[in-house]
Amino acid sequence: MNDIKIIIGQFVDYLLPELTPYETSVYLYLLWNSFFKNGTQEIRVGKRTIASEYGRGSRGEKTNYAHVSKILKMLEEKECIKIGDSNWNGTLYVVNLPKDIPLVVEKLADSSLQDHVEEDYFNDPERRLEIFERDGWVCQYCGEKVTSENITLDHFIPQTKEGKHTKENLKTCCFICNSIKSGKTYEEAAPLLLKNIQERRGHHI
- Chain contacts with Zn ion (rule: CB under 5 A): 139, 141-142, 174, 177
Strand, helix or coil at 139? Answer: coil
Please, what is the minimum distance in Å from the beta carbon of residue 144 to Zn ion? 5
Please, what is the minimum distance in Å from the beta carbon of residue 35 to Zn ion? 58
Toward Zn ion, which CB reaches closer, 33 or 150? 150
* CA 87 to chain centroid: 41
Toward Zn ion, which CB reaches closer, 44 or 184? 184
Toward Zn ion, which CB reaches closer, 36 or 175? 175
Which residue type, as a one-letter code, is found at position 80? C
Phi and psi at residue 138, to the nearest 5°: -125, 135
Please, what is the minimum distance in Å from the beta carbon of residue 2 to Zn ion? 47
Phi and psi at residue 39, to the nearest 5°: 70, 10
Toward Zn ion, which CB reaches closer, 119 or 144? 144
Strand, helix or coil at 129? Answer: helix
Please, what is the minimum distance in Å from the beta carbon of residue 171 to Zn ion? 10
d(CA 16, CA 22): 11
Toward Zn ion, which CB reaches closer, 23 or 154? 154
CB 11 within 8 A of CB 108: no
Residues contacting residue 26 through CB under 8 Å, at least 6 positions apart: 50, 54, 68, 71, 72, 75
Please, what is the minimum distance in Å from the beta carbon of residue 173 to Zn ion? 6
